[in-house]
Structure 1
Amino acid sequence: MISLNPFARKGWLRSVSRPIRRELPNAIRRKLEASRARSNRRGHPATFIGITGSSGKTTTASLLGHVLEAYAPTTTQAIYNTAVDIAPAVASASRNSEFVVLEIGASKKGSVARSARLIEPDVAIVTIVDLEHYSVFRSLEAVADEKGWLVNAVRPGGFALLNADDEHVLAMRRRTRERIVTYGRDEGADFRVLSAEFSFPGPLRVRIAWKGNEETVVSPLPAKHFWLAVTAAFAAAVELGVSPEQIKERIAGFGGVPNRCQIMEVPHGPTFIVDAAKAPFGTIDLAFDVMSDATDRRRKVVIGQISDYAGNPYSKYTKAYQRARAVADEVIAVGDNAHKVRATEEDIASGRFHRFRDVHEVYSYFKKTAVEGDLILLKSSGSLHLERVALAWTSDVKCWEKRCGFTIGCVSCGLYTHPFHEHGRIRRREKRRRRREKIRRLVAAPFRLFRGMNPP
């Protein structure tokens, strides 16, 4: 009921102005963060490296940061890749760092351009162009145009590292006058992949040739398609002055990124391949390929939410099921779109296909049926938080909310061992703690400065 008093809680004035009052502080904060970022970037001594692409950018950024931090002080930010995330990352980048590695995502038109203007990259790395965020971009050309703004922004004296196998990525060479370095399987690539070999459980072996040199890079990353990230990180590190021997040693010690084809082995139980951060239809086969070599195990695939596709969703979910069925002994569909999988009556009757309403039902099913040695792939976009199926085998997962509203992984959230109804209270308490800590530092700063000016 609307109050007659316009200033009351339900008064018309407060109701009309509420969206503005809620968004205004965020808008002001974003403006201030962007200003701080531009100020800190100006004259910053570090080499700034921006990494974008429809797929592989998180692993490439994390792997390159892992390699460089053994060579020189390095700041790395992956996963949190929107323009809103990039501004505070640039603003807080330490001037003691020699390298700053940042993943750049494209959530909407203009987002990469805004991030690129903030970081002014010395090095721009582009992985692949695929039909990401279909509802926004609608075509590969639109995605390529958006990603290309990172190449546009390369500083004088810098270089762009481009995937020679992707025509849309390679065409970005026209968007800068700075040096171009290419990598991939193409014969003309500067860093050419001669072979990439993988058989589960690994390791991945990538043979790379460049400038008369040749090295075989061994990585524990658990899938053949990771050759792209390994090659991009290797090429970038070589161009930045790191020795091939040091790069190989660091790559061999990098276990991957949580939720990106992450291997989770349960003692005396099944082995999970957790790939529950993204599930664009165009690259969903890459996850299924991991299962194809593991012929000595009982293989199961769980399909959750699929994203970034055009046309009839029933056909897309059914095709995903058919592809999974070709490499697995059992396929499970879960979530609001599970009914869109048109499995055969024969598969349903034989138990080769199952449907479940929510993630907890999948966990309960595996708890009853999975045995030691089973290989289970969990494939979904992040909104379903399918990783909880694997986490619950070794942790006391208490959050089984169907729609929590967050797309960050449960491990990054850190609250999966608490019931969902407690999350708000815990976050508010943590926010108050950070605010008190910030005030304490601000109050203490003048006293620290005074003591520094008057040494004992």
Structure 2
Amino acid sequence: MNKLFPLKIHLTILQLFEYNLVDFWRWILQNVNSRGLEGKKMLTLTSKMRLIIALAFVWLVGLFILIGQASWLWAIIISLVIFSQDYFLLSLALITLWPIENYIKSQIKSKTRNKIKKLQARGLKIIGITGSYGKTTTKDFLYQILRTKYQVLKTPESFNTILGIAKVVNLELDESYQYFICEYGAFKKGSINELVDMVKPDFGILTGINEQHLEQFGTIEDIIREKFAMIEVIDPKQPIVINLGNKYITDHYKKFDRNYVCFGTSDSTFHIPHSTFDENSSKFDLILDGKKYLATTPVFGQSNLQNILAAATMAYQLGITPKQIIESIAYLKPTPHRLEVKQFKNGITYIDNAFSSNVDGFKLALEFLKTFKKRPKILVTPGIVLLADRSNEIHRELGSFASKICDRIILVGQSERTKALEEGVGDIEKTMYIDKISEVWPTITSLDLKNPVVLIENDLPDNY
């Protein structure tokens, strides 16, 4: 049935693109004959999706009746043709829904904004976190540290949009909380301004900036401008934690006169000068306000240590003592699919870094893979999306970097991304292709390597 009437496939793709018609139509034009998906994420029949389906059928029935006035036979034939190309109906349904959706969204924003203002007037403090990478993990770590002293609520998982944040505020946030940690996502120009207008932060963390979402923004300058939009609304007297180890932040932060607390460089008063990893934990020297402390944590990789550093720096500004910070770090729980290390009984060590890869995170994950001395190292990746016209260049650089560390590189899917990675590797004996991620473990078993370490770097949804 899907081969003739691929409605379920197109509904799934529309949902994966978060109902963005431009992205949906770009996928349709590139996959017009596609009649199957890997099924990584199943269609969820939300109230919005049910309404879109209902409106699509209203349009279909309306067209059937209209054409039927001239010929019922032609009405049947044309309706079947239109239904087989249902993306037209779905687009009409979504366009019909826009005025209603915008009105509802404006009401939700107004309700959320009013509630936030009332709670802030009664003492609630809001910590905003944004950046091209590390937002969710930094938020999770900061939450675990702050809750040792304060009543804290955070946006869950990667809830960083208008409706996601509003849902948390309106259903969970109340006067019992002293701090609310809010993650701000940016997927188009103006995203951050819209979010901070609804939930204005008192403090801020800028984790880092890179080419992630370059396809939506157009230029790196637009991405930088978007991320700094959060900083512009924060009281100049309040602390804003920024990563001076990031060149884009370093080049632009002085344009705004703010109370910056800097981390990430050796001359910062908050940094990590030394770290080691074993199979059970990470040990590192943590410099807090110029003083050194020895820390141990069950999370791994330099990217996670940078996120811990950002969280610890903000926690220190908010009155958490170094002793409390070190004790909290020792019991941190890793954020799922962000450099999670898992040991399998067959001797395989699996590094799960499958969530939403970015250029900096990709390189740091490879650096962590490199620490597993004298063991075969395997990289599995489909590459990184949304890098616009820099995609091939970046993937060739990543391929070259990976080639120096990995014994085998398994590329998922035939795409411009994976072809550029292969070009960068420059060694056809190192690279191999699989069609989908579910084939990875049989493929690794067939390589017959002793105690390999496998890094899964990114796992793209079906729309990519």
Alignment TM class, shorter chain as reference:
0.7 to 0.9
Give, in angstroms, the shift of residue 245 of structure 1.
0.9
Instruction: Please give the per-residue CA displacement for 1:275-298, whole angstroms capped at 9, x wherever unaligned.
Output: 111223354211111111111322
Q: Which runs of 5+ in 1 are unaligned?
A: 385-402, 408-456
Q: Is the contact made by 1:270 and 1:371 (CA closer than 8 Å) also made in structure 2? A: no
Residue identity opposite 2:364 in structure 1: L
Kindly indicate whether residue 190 of structure 2 is the aligned counterpart of residue 110 of structure 1.
Answer: yes
Structure with higher RCO (Cα < 8 A, 6+ apart): 2
State the Cα distance separating 1:315 from its structure 2 match: 4.9
Query: 1: distance between equivalents of 2:451 and 2:213?
Result: 37
User: In structure 2, what residue type is equivalent to 1:325?
Assistant: S
Partner residue of 2:282 out of 203, 218, 239 = 203
SS state of the match for residue 411, structure 2?
Answer: strand
Alpha-carbon displacement from aligned partner over 1:21-70 (angstroms, at most 9, x marks no partner)? 33344323322221221121012132110111112222111100111122
- Please give the TM-score of this superposition, normalised by the length of structure 2: 0.73
- Per-residue displacement from partner, 1:385-407 (whole Å, max 9, x unpaired)? xxxxxxxxxxxxxxxxxx2x5x9
In the superposition, relative to structure 1, how do residues 173 and 66 fare at CA in structure 2: closer, same or farther (>3 Å)? Answer: farther
Match of 2:208 in 1: 128
Q: Deviations over 1:227-264 (max 9, x none)?
A: 32121111111111111111111111113111111112
Q: Is the counterpart of residue 89 in structure 1 residue 168 in structure 2?
A: yes
| Partners of 1:181 and 1:373 in 2: CA distance | 43
The aligned residue for residue 72 of structure 1 is 150
In the TM superposition, 1:435-446 aligns within 5 A as none
The correspondence for 1:172, drawn from 239, 248, 253, is 253
Residues 216 and 168 (structure 1 numbering): CA distance in 2 closer, same or farther, change over 3 Å? Answer: same
The secondary structure found in structure 2 opposite 1:300 is strand
Counterpart residue number, 2:106: 31
What SS does the corresponding residue of 1:154 show, helix, strand or coil?
A: coil
TM-aligned CA distance change 1:143 to 1:17, over 3 Å: closer
**TM score, norm. by length of structure 1:** 0.74
Work out which of the residue numbers 366, 369, 374 in structure 2 matches 1:291.
369
| Preserved contact between residue 198 and residue 223 of structure 1 (Cα < 8 Å) | no
Which residue in 1 is equivalent to 2:242?
162
Equivalent residue number for residue 49 of structure 2? none
How many residues align? The count is: 379
Q: Which residue is equivalent to 2:414?
A: 336
Residues in 2 aligned to 1:165 and 1:346: alpha-carbon distance in whole angstroms: 30
Residue in 2 aligned with 1:182?
262
Q: Following TM superposition, by how much is the alpha carbon of 1:147 offset from its aligned partner in structure 2, in angstroms?
A: 0.7
Give 1:310 shift: 4.8
Question: Residues 302-321 of structure 1 correspond to what in structure 2 (within 5 A)?
Answer: 302-311=380-389, 313-321=391-399
Please list, as runs of the form range in 1=range in 2, the aligned pairs for 1:249-260 lying within 5 A after superposition.
Answer: 249-260=327-338
Q: Does 1:377 align with 2:461?
A: no
Q: Out of 178, 185, 190, which is 1:98 matched to?
A: 178
> Is the contact between residue 60 and residue 233 of structure 1 (CA under 8 Å) also seen in structure 2?
yes
Are 1:143 and 2:223 counterparts?
Answer: yes
1:244 corresponds to: 322
Deviation at 1:378, TM superposition (A): 0.5
Residue 60 of structure 1 pairs with residue 138 of structure 2? yes
Shift of 1:142: 1.9
Letter in 1 for 2:357: A
Please give the per-residue CA displacement for 1:422-452, whole angstroms capped at 9, x wherever unaligned: xxxxxxxxxxxxxxxxxxxxxxxxxxxxxxx
For residues 216 and 261 of structure 2, the distance between their equivalents in structure 1, rounded to whole angstroms, comes to: 30
Structure 1 residue 110 displacement after superposition? 0.5
3-state SS of 2:201 partner: coil
Paired residue secondary structure (2:307): helix
Alignment root-mean-square deviation, CA:
3.1
SS, match of residue 3 in structure 1: helix
2:115 is equivalent to residue 40 of structure 1: yes
Aligned to 1:221: 299
Percent of residue pairs identical: 21
* 2:93 aligned partner: 18
Query: Cα 1:37–1:344, aligned 2, differ >3 Å: closer, same or farther?
Result: closer
Amino acid at match of 2:229: W
Question: Separation in 1 of the partners of 2:92 and 2:152?
Answer: 44
Residues 149 and 345 of structure 1: CA distance in aligned 2, closer, same or farther (over 3 Å): closer
Q: CA deviation at 1:318?
A: 4.0
Would the alpha carbon gap of residues 50 and 328 (structure 1) be closer, same or farther in structure 2, given more than 3 Å must change? Answer: same
- Residue 299 of structure 1 and its aligned partner are, at CA, apart by 1.3
